Amino acid sequence: MQERAAKNSLHLFCFPVTYMHVFLSPPPQYTVWNFLPKNLFEQFRRIANFYFLIIFLVQVIVDTPTSPVTSGLPLFFVITVTAIKQGYEDWLRHKADNEVNKYPVTVLEDGRRIRKESEKIKVGDVVEVEEDETFPCDLILLQSSRDDDTCFVTTASLDGESNHKVRCTALLGVCELSLGPENLLLKGATLKNTQKICGVAVYTGMETKMALNYQGKSQKRSAVEKSINAFLLVYLCILVSKALVCTTLKYVWQSKPGQDEPWYNEKTQREKDTNLMFTDFLSFMVLFNFIIPVSMYVTVEMQKFLGSFFITWDKDFFDPEIKEGALVNTSDLNEELGQVEYVFTDKTGTLTQNNMEFIECCIDGFQYKYRDASSELDGFCVTDGPVNKLQQKAGRVGVVVSLHLLEELFLRALCLCHTVQVKESTEQRVDGEVVPPPEEQRGFIASSPDEVALVKAFILIPFCTSQRYELLHVLNFDPVRRRMSVIVRSRSGDTLLFCKGADSSIFPRVRQEEVERIRMHVERNATEGYRTLCVAYKHLSAEEYAQADKGLREARLALQDREEKLMAVYNQVETGMSLIGATAVEDRLQEEAAETMEALQGAGIKIWVLTGDKMETAKSTCYACRLFQRNTELLELTVRTLEDGGRRREERLHELLIEYHKKNLFLQICQNCTTVLCCRMAPLQKAQVRTISSPITLSIGDGANDVSMILEAHVGIGIKGKEGRQAVRNSDYAIPKLKHLKKLLLAHGHLYYVRIAHLVQYFFYKNLCFILPQFLYQFFCGYSQQPLYDAAYLTMYNICFTSMPILAYSLLEQHICIEILLDNATLYREIAKNAMLRWGPFLYWTLLGVFHGLLFFFGVRYLFSNPALQDNGQVFGNWSYGTIVFTVLVFTVTLKLALDTRHWTWINHFVIWGSLAFYVFFSFFWGGIIWPFLRQQRLYFVFANMLSSVSAWLVIILLILLSLLPEILLVVFRKPRGPHARQVELKHTYTA
């Protein structure tokens, strides 16, 4: 940024014209014009959809035993429902983008203020922004309403930091610019404590710094979808095998004399000249094609879409502070919430509130608690050190004076060494009278919330007399120096340097005999999770100050190597200081953050904290969140932990990481750690961490700097903060607070996975039960491709007769109640690593389908061995045979689902018993009327005649009971597992 701006200092408005339009949520896939072709292309990329399209075309072109309607109607239903769902979700993305891109902004053109949509801003436009407004693009500050030509911004929506940062104007002369990071106003930041600013647009749209930190969103696919594709390939192989077997056996059977051309069906000359083997193979494929459950896809889509509403309706996710609940941006990953193995989390604004509170301080080796209830001394209470020692010190006048001087010096240091300013607020006039601003508009602002906490704690303590100091220089805080200093002059003419910073930065610059008195307190506070700062001072002689003043002025005016020269002067001045004491400030954790992290670890989930903060601060947060315990063995890989070896430590660290990477040691070490902490990370580096972990990952953050990490993970979670929604817009799910992650994973995620896993296995099972009798029937009809079921049954089996019960089950089932899932985090481990969709459970469901299919077919065949089945002595025909098999099939698979249901609602009762009643009603209705549009009506009065036979009733009931007998015995004799098992089947606590 600095290079590009410097080269164009006199031609700032001649950048190439680029416009603002940017997608702040995942970009929409469709437009009005390309929706239909693009959506159809995407849908037919699925194996099952493409397969059924081919089957439909075969039925249209080739003379097959079933009507094209049997495949075309289910396919049309699936495609239509899926297109409606995807179109609706894409419309929501368009709506979210328009809220940002159509936002009105003020642009100055030809001396006039013009309102424009934010997407129409181009490079070179002068934009006017008022207080509390968000910058619509990257701006260079040209003018501010403040007298000192500065403004304050907050970047909470970018990095979660709620503190105020200072930016200054870039204009030094009429045609002269001095550009640096302190002049740049980033898109997404918010103007604070400044009435109005004007800035020139330098980067817009996808060229802004925020957009460049985004990483392209890859297509996220759940583990369930991958399992479905694997199972489909298995069933496709079974289908092809069946077709090959039947085709081969047909020609073997026809090779026998008299079988190929019976006297009643002689071949024509054209049939004799044509090889029909391939046509027969296609006909068998069409006949058995219903083993591939195409309707499963639409049921899964509906289950995901409707199931996502349970998250948005959950009252436990509602936050009264922001008056919002959870948000689902992508419903395709619901079941992934139950399969998370790694959680990548941001620290500031996610684990912590970024709201500092002063806890205690240490002066001359004695600890002082702020506003303690017992024996306060000017707002403090001495809380450690032997009482008799204090009495001894109090009895010695010289020591008391010295102690009071140190305490006063300590307080003065903290009241002077900071960047805190009083927040400006505009007074309002009502009826001619000046009305003071509301309380919430008053207060302090600073570049660090630590400083505000310290100033608030010490500025009101009436310990010392009021004095006035002249501020001479500010030695700004730097993440490398990890300290800041001020040089001040008192009225008496004394020049003092006050310095505060991290202990690792202050201790080497003070007298070592003073360190040990403070070190114990600093280490104890760090262990307790507090952020610590050490305070030191130094008297500057006239010569020392003159030298420092000259060096600082020359370094700040340097055109080359300015930062290095300033750093050299800082290091020269900040030496030989005297250590006064240390402070402990608590960065408050998010509500129930420690309990949430503890529960996730109990569920077997490994936590990785990815932060841009320094290691000391991040470590203290990890201790406070119980990610690190006191007995935790820490493996530290930093520059400081490496031996020099005659080379720069950075080079040694780089070589070590390369060596570890070649041997795959680094990945193995990290994966075997319960918690991993990565510090000083850039936004793109956060996203790249996910690539070293192949299991299912979840990323959670609250700022725009977390967007790349959220997009890259299998599941992205955004936290709804008070400011900024970049993470929310780009996330798959959004929750108001970190504590809601526990229920989202351990309860909703667990139940979603169990439900959809059962749905998938059940679909394959019921379709195998459906088509296996059709396959067996070919062995008894001369492989003539005669259908066992009527075309209406083939069409409506998956659409109407068996679809609603499994959909209701997949939405409402609770095999374990939510309270138990939240109290027993270890239950999450039982379904980890896709446990319910492995090959073992798949084989069980497949064998169950084979068993039921064999029982249906041969049980009814045994019934047909009795020649007189009806009261009038007539025998049942071919369609009666198939109808009895189909009736047993529908009742068995539906009642099997009823036996699997642990939580019954009126919806379950309605759809299960209603589906069975609808089947009976449809069969009577379909066969009881002569339909004029049908050339042949195979089921005319078949169902009614079947039910008039006592033998048919007996066999139907007997076969259903025999099929479900193993399940019934399993339910009756199954012993409860664990102390919560009895509650599992009785309790229902969905919050909606």
pLDDT digits (tens, 9 = 90+) for 825-836: 999 998 888 889
- When divided into structural domains, the chain yields a total of 5
Residues contacting residue 173 through CB under 8 Å, at least 6 positions apart: none
Bigger pLDDT: 534 or 978?
A: 534
| Residue 241 domain-assigned (yes or no) | no
Is residue 184 within 8 Å of 139, Cβ to Cβ? yes
Proportion of the chain above pLDDT 90, given as a percent? 18
Bigger pLDDT: 990 or 441?
A: 441
Proportion of the chain above pLDDT 70, given as a percent? 77
Is the pLDDT score of 665 beyond 70? yes
pLDDT of 917 reads: 94
- State the CB neighbour count (10 A cutoff) for residue 220: 18
Which string of b and e fits 571-583 if b means at least 16 CB within 10 Å? eebbeebebbbbb
Is residue 170 within 8 Å of 176, Cβ to Cβ? no
Question: Are 547 and 621 part of one and the same domain?
Answer: no
Q: What is the CATH number of the domain that holds 160?
A: 2.70.150.10
Tell me the one-letter amino acid at 328.
Answer: V
Bigger pLDDT: 528 or 897?
A: 897
User: How would you classify the pairing of strands 342-345 and 444-445?
Assistant: unpaired
Is residue 112 within 8 Å of 8, Cβ to Cβ? no
**DSSP letter (8 states) at residue 746:** I
pLDDT digits (tens, 9 = 90+) for 138-155: 999 888 888 878 888 887
Question: Are 616 and 701 part of one and the same domain?
Answer: yes
Bigger pLDDT: 572 or 705?
A: 572
Bigger pLDDT: 631 or 114?
A: 114
Range of the domain at 182: 122-203
pLDDT digits (tens, 9 = 90+) for 181-239: 778 888 888 888 888 999 999 988 878 877 776 655 555 677 788 888 889 889 888 98
Stretch 760-772: mean pLDDT: 93
Question: Are 473 and 463 part of one and the same domain?
Answer: yes
SS3 382: strand
Among 301-305, 753-757, 863-867, the least confident range = 863-867
CA distance 277 to 51: 21
pLDDT digits (tens, 9 = 90+) for 346-389: 887 788 887 788 888 888 778 887 654 343 434 445 555 433 33
Which string of b and e fits 744-767 if b means at least 16 CB within 10 Å? bbbbbbbbbbbbbbbbbbbbbbbb
Q: What angle do CA 98, 100, 105 make, to 5 degrees?
A: 115
Angstrom distances, CA of residue 436 to CA of 196, 420, 914: 20, 22, 68
Is the pLDDT score of 987 beyond 60? no
Stretch 713-732: mean pLDDT: 79
pLDDT of 527 reads: 67
Name the nearest CA neighbour of 591 among 184, 806, 316, 229.
316
pLDDT of 812 reads: 92
User: How would you classify the pairing of strands 715-719 and 733-735?
Assistant: parallel
pLDDT of 391 reads: 38
Tell me the one-letter amino acid at 603.
Answer: A
Among 482-491, 535-544, 737-746, 979-988, the least confident range = 979-988
Is the pLDDT score of 458 beyond 90? no
Angstrom distances, CA of residue 597 to CA of 178, 199, 310, 622, 845: 47, 43, 24, 10, 37
Is the pLDDT score of 799 beyond 50? yes
Half-sphere exposure of 934 (CA within 13 A, CB side): 15
| Residue 260 domain-assigned (yes or no) | no
| Residue 107 domain-assigned (yes or no) | yes
pLDDT of 667 reads: 74
Question: Are 701 and 828 part of one and the same domain?
Answer: no
Domain end call among 712, 741, 770: 741
pLDDT digits (tens, 9 = 90+) for 880-918: 888 899 999 999 999 999 999 988 999 999 999 999 999
Backbone angles phi, psi at 396, to 5 degrees: -105, 115
Is residue 603 within 8 Å of 825, Cβ to Cβ? yes
- Record the tokens describing residue 306, joined without a space: 């409707």
Bigger pLDDT: 178 or 625?
A: 625
pLDDT of 22 reads: 45
Is the pLDDT score of 593 beyond 50? yes
| Residue 252 domain-assigned (yes or no) | no
User: How would you classify the pairing of strands 697-701 and 715-719?
Assistant: parallel
| Residue 96 domain-assigned (yes or no) | yes
SS3 527: helix
- Record the tokens describing residue 455, joined without a space: 């100033």
Domain end call among 690, 718, 741: 741
Quick check: pTM over 0.85?
A: no
Among 385-399, 714-728, 767-781, the least confident range = 385-399
| Residue 936 domain-assigned (yes or no) | yes
Question: Are 67 and 142 part of one and the same domain?
Answer: no
Domain end call among 121, 143, 160: 121
Question: Are 905 and 763 part of one and the same domain?
Answer: yes
Q: Of 159, 314, 346, 706, which is the active-site residue?
A: 346
Among 167-176, 528-537, 807-816, the least confident range = 167-176
pLDDT of 17 reads: 40
pLDDT of 639 reads: 60
| Residue 309 domain-assigned (yes or no) | no
Q: What is the mean pLDDT of the chain?
A: 78
pLDDT of 638 reads: 67
Is the pLDDT score of 635 beyond 60? yes
- Record the tokens describing residue 816, joined without a space: 């374990």
Is the pLDDT score of 594 beyond 80? yes
Angstrom distances, CA of residue 421 to CA of 353, 425, 438, 446, 488: 22, 12, 18, 6, 17
pLDDT digits (tens, 9 = 90+) for 389-441: 333 444 433 444 466 778 888 888 888 888 777 766 555 544 555 455 554 44
pLDDT-derived band at 463 (thresholds 50, 70, 90) equals low
Question: Are 728 and 625 part of one and the same domain?
Answer: yes
Q: What angle do CA 69, 70, 71 make, to 5 degrees?
A: 90
Q: What is the CATH number of the domain that holds 343?
A: 3.40.50.1000
pLDDT digits (tens, 9 = 90+) for 914-957: 999 999 998 888 776 776 666 666 677 778 777 777 778 888 89
Is residue 298 within 8 Å of 85, Cβ to Cβ? no
Q: What is the CATH number of the domain that holds 470?
A: 3.40.1110.10
Question: Are 727 and 748 part of one and the same domain?
Answer: no
Stretch 463-479: mean pLDDT: 77
Question: Are 142 and 55 part of one and the same domain?
Answer: no
pLDDT-derived band at 643 (thresholds 50, 70, 90) equals low
Tell me the one-letter amino acid at 600.
Answer: L
| Residue 579 domain-assigned (yes or no) | yes
Residue 346 falls in the annotated catalytic set: yes
pLDDT digits (tens, 9 = 90+) for 251-292: 887 777 666 666 556 666 555 555 567 778 888 888 888 888
Question: Are 542 and 530 part of one and the same domain?
Answer: yes
Question: Are 535 and 671 part of one and the same domain?
Answer: no
Question: Are 756 and 891 part of one and the same domain?
Answer: yes
